[in-house]
Amino acid sequence: MKRAIGVLTAAVTSLVVFAGTALAQYPPPTSTPPTVLGKVEHNGTAFTGANISMGLVLLVVLVVIGAAALLVARRRAAART
């Protein structure tokens, strides 16, 4: 059981980390950067994937609360025996 919880926690954590970056700015902007003398000029700040949606923040909070609930339940069950 401990191993299954560890695998599930690792899977959810990697999903949150990688999907959050991939979906940070979806759909991607469709404008094309201007070209000057055959070279593409990039204006503005570079895209770093730092735009985190409120849904992602909520998901992280719920995962942390769920993990804490699992730990509390296991400690209570161990204390009863």
**So what's the pLDDT on residue 63?**
92
Domain boundaries, the chain: 2-80
Whole-number mean pLDDT of the chain? Answer: 76
DSSP per-residue string spanning 17-71: HHHHHHTTT-SPP-PPPPEETTEEPPPSPPP-S----HHHHHHHHHHHHHHHHHH
pLDDT tens readout for residues 69-81 = 999 998 888 888 7
Q: What's the pTM? A: 0.39
